[in-house]
Amino acid sequence: MKNRCYSLRNVFALAFLCVAMLWTASASAEDKFPSKQLSYVVTFDPGGQSDREARRQQKYLHQILGQQVVVDYVVGGGGAVGWKELARAKPDGYSFYTINTPHIILQPMQQNVGYKTEQIVPVAMFQSTPLGLAVNTDSPLKTLDDLLAAAKKDPGGVTIGGSAAFSGHHMATLRLEKLAGVNFSYVPFTGSAPQMTAILGNHVDAVFANSDDLVRFKDKLRVLAFSTEQRFPHFPDAPTLKEKGFDMVDSIDRGVGVPVNTPAEAVATLEKAFLEIANNPEIQKEMRDQGFVPLSMGHDASVAYIKKVTAEYTELAKSIKK
């Protein structure tokens, strides 16, 4: 028994020594940002748009910032789990999280999700997917007018599939309903893969979907309209909703954000790196080919943009609440 206590004490002393050594080793060299490995936290499942953009940027970020950048995942609740963590993360700039509009605006508006839109400081926004309204090529609905006429004839009889409820897709459907004075049945799916499966299998009549998904299934879908200012380059024949007299422009925009109180110097360094990548013509071409719209909004532009979008959705939410 005595022997045992003795050896345990030895172990503790040894452990303590090791700990102390490591502590001193890590405490040194903390001058210019970034001085150590950074963590790029993706708040959606691997393989999604946010993840693919992060993977695309990873090696460039490493080159520009001169430090390793690791992609991590904090997934759940349509991004909410990650953004809740963002709001509580250490504000040192070493962890930045993917952010999406309108998600970060709509979620806190709907309920208490553990974070507020104001708790997220955008660093840059660099990727956008405008929303398009599409049907299966087998569908009897040839044009937007056909779709609206069908919905007028049978209110609620036309189903529109989208990704999740209270999402950008859902809001776009509601907006179109309001502007066109019709009623659809919005069917939410748990992501773009099941959403696309449903339209390819003719289980829903139409989808409001992200531009990159529409481009991927180009040969199986007929795009009726795009919710953009100008016609979308991949689908020059599809009119914009504006052309058709419905004043709406909807997109899902992606970027990265950090918690409030992150030093301005760190935000500026990250912003510069992200904008340099976003402005790289090669990357922009790659993104366009895949159906994305490259953005290059810095911190200030992103803040203003989020403010503008928040105002729009607040108004929409008010008008649809009965």
> What is the number of residues in the chain?
322
Judged by CB under 8 A, the stretch of 117-125, 185-193, 232-240, 300-308 that binds other proteins is 185-193
245 binds other proteins (CB under 8 A): no
CA dist 41 and 177 (Å) reads: 36
- Amino acid at the residue 275: L
Selected from 64, 91, 116, 217, the binder of other proteins by CB under 8 A is 217
Query: What values do phi and psi take at 42, rounded to 5?
Result: -95, 125
Residue 304 CB, nearest approach to other proteins (Å)? 27
Q: List C-alpha distances in Å: 197 to 30, 33, 156, 191, 204.
A: 50, 45, 22, 10, 10
Selected from 143, 188, 276, 312, the binder of other proteins by CB under 8 A is 188
* Window 17 to 46, contacts with other proteins (CB under 8 A): 19, 22-23, 25-26, 36, 39, 45-46
233 binds other proteins (CB under 8 A): no
Query: Taking the CB of residue 169, how many other CB atoms lie within 10 A of it?
Result: 26
Residue 287 CB, nearest approach to other proteins (Å)? 11
Selected from 91, 143, 146, 216, the binder of other proteins by CB under 8 A is 216
* Window 266 to 295, contacts with other proteins (CB under 8 A): 286, 289-290
Judged by CB under 8 A, the stretch of 117-125, 214-222, 229-237, 306-314 that binds other proteins is 214-222
263 binds other proteins (CB under 8 A): no
175 binds other proteins (CB under 8 A): no
196 binds other proteins (CB under 8 A): yes
Q: List C-alpha distances in Å: 175 to 170, 182, 245, 320.
A: 9, 10, 13, 9
* Window 91 to 150, contacts with other proteins (CB under 8 A): 107, 110-114
CA dist 74 and 16 (Å) reads: 33
Handedness of CA 128, 132, 137, 143 (dihedral sign): negative
Please say which residue, 62 or 244, places its beta carbon nearer to other proteins: 62
